[in-house]
Structure 1
Amino acid sequence: MTHMTPTTRAAVVLGVAVALTAGLAVAPARAHAAPVDPSSTSVTASPTTASSPPARSSKSAERAIAAFTSRGERGSTGAPVSPDPASTSVPSVPSVPSVPTVTTPAAVSQTIRTTPTTTLFRGGLYVDPAGEAARAATTLTSEGRTAEAAAARTISKQPVATWLGSWLTDAQLVKKIDGTVAAAEKVGATPLFVTYNIPNRDCGSHSAGGSADNAAYLRWNSLVASRLAGHRVVVVVEPDALTLISNCPEQTSGREATIASAVATLADAGVPAYLDAGNSNWVPPQTMAARLKAAGVDRARGFATNVSNYYPVESERAYAEKVSQATGGARYVIDTSRNGRGWKGTWCNAPGAGLGVVPSVQTGTTKLDALLWIKTPGASDGECNGGPAAGKWHASYAVQLVANRATG
Structure 2
Amino acid sequence: MPRLPRSTRTRRRVPRAVLVVLAVVAAVAVIAVIAVVGNLVTTLFQTLSARPPAVDTRIVAPDESKAAQAADAAAGDAEEQAAAQWLASQPTTYWLTPEIDPVDEVWDRVAHLAAEARDQDAALSIAIYGLPDRDCGNHSAGGLDPDSYRAWTQRIGDALGNASDIQKIVILEPDSIALSSTCGSPSDRAGYLKDAVDNIRGTDTWIYIDGGHSSWHPVAEMADLIRATGVLPDVRGIALNVSNYQDTAAEFDYAHALSDELGGTHAVIDTSRNGAGPAGSEWCNPAGRLVGSPTGSFGDGVVDTNLWIKPPGESDGECNGGPTAGTWWPSAAVELTREQR
Query: Relative to structure 1, is the Cα distance of residues 306 and 182 closer, same or farther in structure 2, using a 3 angstrom cutoff?
Result: same
**Residues 76-100 of structure 1, C-alpha deviations (whole Å, 9 max, x = no match):** xxxxxxxxxxxxxxxxxxxxxxxxx
Rounded Cα–Cα distance in structure 1 between residues aligned with 2:148 and 2:235: 22
1:207 to 135, 140, 143: 140
Distance 1:169 1:265, change over 3 A: closer
Q: Could you say which residue in structure 1 is the equivalent of 2:59?
A: 125
Alignment of 1:198-277 (within 5 A): 198-213=131-146, 215-229=147-161, 230=164, 231-249=166-184, 251-268=185-202, 271-277=205-211
Cα offset, 1:172, TM superposition: 2.4
Unaligned residue ranges in structure 1 (runs of 5+): 1-59, 74-111
Match runs of 1:54-203 below 5 Å: 66-67=42-43, 69-70=45-46, 115-117=51-53, 124-139=58-73, 142-167=74-99, 168-203=101-136
Q: TM-score, normalised by structure 2?
A: 0.81
1: CA distance between counterparts of 2:69 and 2:104? 21
Matched residues in 2 for 1:123 and 1:188: separation?
11
Tell me whether 1:298 sits opposite 2:233 in the alignment: yes
Q: 1:268 to 1:175 in 2, by over 3 A?
A: closer
CA distance in 2, matches of 1:65, 1:237: 30
Q: Deviations over 1:15-47 (max 9, x none)?
A: xxxxxxxxxxxxxxxxxxxxxxxxxxxxxxxxx
Aligned to 2:294: 358
Shift of 1:265: 2.8
2:318 counterpart residue number: 383
Give 1:313 deviation, angstroms: 0.3
Q: Quick one: structure 1 residues 166 and 156, their matched pair in 2 at CA, closer, same or farther if it must change by over 3 Å?
A: same
- 1:122 Cα deviation from its structure 2 partner: 8.4
Counterpart in the other structure of 2:219: 285
Mapped partners of 1:127, 1:71: distance in 2: 25
- The separation in 2 between residues aligned to 1:350 and 1:65, in whole angstroms, is 52
Scaled by the length of structure 1, the TM-score of the pair is 0.68
Letter in 1 for 2:288: G
Q: What is the root-mean-square deviation in Å for CA atoms of aligned residues?
A: 2.6
What whole-Å deviation, never above 9, does each CA across 1:120-158 have from its counterpart, x for those lacking one?
x8873222244221111111xx12511111111111121
Counterpart amino acid of 2:90?
Answer: Q
Of the candidates 237, 262, 287, which is equivalent to residue 327 of structure 1? 262
* 1:232 alignment partner AA: Q
Q: One-letter code of the match for 1:354?
A: L
* In structure 2, distance between residues paired with 1:116 and 1:370: 10
- Structure 2: give runs of 5+ residues left out of the alignment: 1-35
Instruction: Specify whether residues 383 and 220 from structure 1 end up closer, same or farther in structure 2 by C-alpha distance, changes over 3 A only.
Output: same
Moved more, 268-277 or 201-210: 268-277
Q: How many Å separate the matches in 1 of 2:156 and 2:128?
A: 9
Checking the alignment, whether the CA contact within 8 Å between 1:128 and 1:160 is kept in structure 2 is yes
Tell whether the 8 Å contact from 1:266 to 1:272 is kept in structure 2 after alignment.
no
Partner Cα distance (1:64, 1:176) in 2: 28
CA contact (8 A) 1:117 1:362 kept: no
State the SS of the aligned residue for 1:216. helix
- Does the residue aligned with 1:174 lie in a helix, a strand or coil? helix
Q: Write the distance in 2 (CA, Å) between the matches of 1:131 and 1:344.
A: 26
Provide the C-alpha distance between the structure 2 equivalents of 1:398 and 1:337, rounded to a whole number of angstroms. Answer: 12
Q: Distance in 2 between matches of 1:266 and 1:252?
A: 21
Give the aligned residue type for 2:122. Answer: A
The amino acid that maps onto 1:324 is S
Answer with 1 or 2: which has the greater Rg.
2
Amino acid at match of 2:284: C
Partner of 1:347: 283
CA contact (8 A) 1:361 1:369 kept: no
Aligned-partner SS, 1:332: strand
Q: Distance in 2 between matches of 1:233 and 1:298?
A: 18
CA displacement at 1:291 relative to structure 2: 2.4
Q: How many residues align?
A: 300
Relative to structure 1, is the Cα distance of residues 64 and 309 closer, same or farther in structure 2, using a 3 angstrom cutoff? farther
Aligned mates of 2:47, 2:311 — CA distance in 1: 26
Shift of the 171–68 alpha-carbon distance from structure 1 to 2, 3 Å rule, reads farther
Percentage identity across paired residues of the two chains: 34
Q: After alignment, is 338-347 or 64-73 more displaced?
A: 64-73
Whole-Å Cα distance in 2 between the matches of residues 400 and 304 of structure 1?
Answer: 25
Structure 2 contact 239–270 (Cα < 8 Å) conserved: yes
